[in-house]
Amino acid sequence: MDITSYLKNMQASVETALQNGLPDESVRPAILHEAMRYAVLNGGKRIRPILCLAAAEVFGQAPDAAMAPAIAVELYHCSTLVHDDLPCMDDDALRRGRPTCHIKYGAANAVLTGDALMIQAFQILAETGTPQLVLELAQAAGSQGVIAGQVEDLAAEGQTPSADLIEFIHLHKTAVLIQASVRMGAIVGGANPAEFEQLSVFGQKIGLAFQIEDDILDETSTDEVLGKPAGSDLEQDKMTYPAVHGLAAAQAKVSELTGEAIVALDTLSHDTQPLRAIAGYLVSRTF
């Protein structure tokens, strides 16, 4: 299959759904709805929604059957980026080559924009009428999921590199949400428990691989390619996989995890070609 055009088509569908899933800028308060759209409609790669759609597709669902959880997970992801960039958090001024939300709208509005995006995600999931989807996002996002990773990530700045700690951070800050994206697609697809479990393993493995690849790119790429300052992890004294294990071991780990992710798909009797192709793309991407 042609993964490039597959991803391009998926991205276009997700983009349209995100456009429609966000309140119009004319709705009061206009500044809030403008900021919400600014924070989301920024040319993101949409990895999480595409994985959600592709997981549902495994079970023969139409390409947009899982669009509601797909955009919900992306809205939640964008909310974490808005909060992460705040002056009291990572204090980042640039994202995807544009001023971050708090630079453009002020810190107070950025806090509220992040909150509003988070709630919008849950609203969209509630509208599906499937409480299991709400539960998936809440468990992945909450104090024992993404937020646990963020808290430990902030606390780890400047600390001695530790293999245990970096695994906890990557698993929680990134992998659980990517895993939840796949799981939500599997729920919509009607996966049986064994299939759900295998897809869950796949999601976790590629989630970890994705974050390690991100760490590697931050160290080896350029500002222009990344759309944000390269080397910012080093500058902020962030704990990264390469900082703990070295670049070569990081690259080897990405390959190993991707292999394990693909093996997890082998027991499924369905067409998992798109998921395999996405996994391959995630390892070979340059930004």
Binding site for a copy of itself (CB under 8 A): 23, 27-29, 31-33, 36, 79-80, 83, 86-89, 106-109, 111-112, 114-116, 118-120, 122-123, 125-132, 134-135, 137-139, 141-144, 147-148, 150-152, 154-155, 168
**Nearer Cβ to a copy of itself (115/260):** 115
Distance of closest approach, residue 53 Cβ to a copy of itself, in angstroms: 21
**Nearer Cβ to a copy of itself (83/205):** 83
Residue type at position 271: D
Within 8 A by CB and 6+ apart from 269, the residues are: none
**Nearer Cβ to a copy of itself (83/253):** 83
Distance of closest approach, residue 116 Cβ to a copy of itself, in angstroms: 4
Distance of closest approach, residue 46 Cβ to a copy of itself, in angstroms: 21
Distance of closest approach, residue 211 Cβ to a copy of itself, in angstroms: 18
Distance of closest approach, residue 33 Cβ to a copy of itself, in angstroms: 6
CB 173 within 8 A of CB 145: no
Cα angle, residue 122 at apex, residues 97 and 203 outer, rounded to 5° = 70
Element of type H or E holding 124: helix 107-127
**Nearer Cβ to a copy of itself (80/258):** 80
Give me the residue label for tokens 């709630």.
Answer: 119
Distances (CA, A) of 87 to 83, 93, 101, 232: 9, 9, 11, 15
Residue type at position 262: I
Tell me the Ramachandran region of residue 138: left when phi exceeds 0, alpha when psi lies from -120 to 50, beta otherwise. alpha
User: 57 by DSSP, 3-state: which?
Assistant: helix
Which residues are bridge partners to 94 per DSSP? 99
**Nearer Cβ to a copy of itself (1/135):** 135
Distance of closest approach, residue 39 Cβ to a copy of itself, in angstroms: 12
**Nearer Cβ to a copy of itself (177/212):** 177
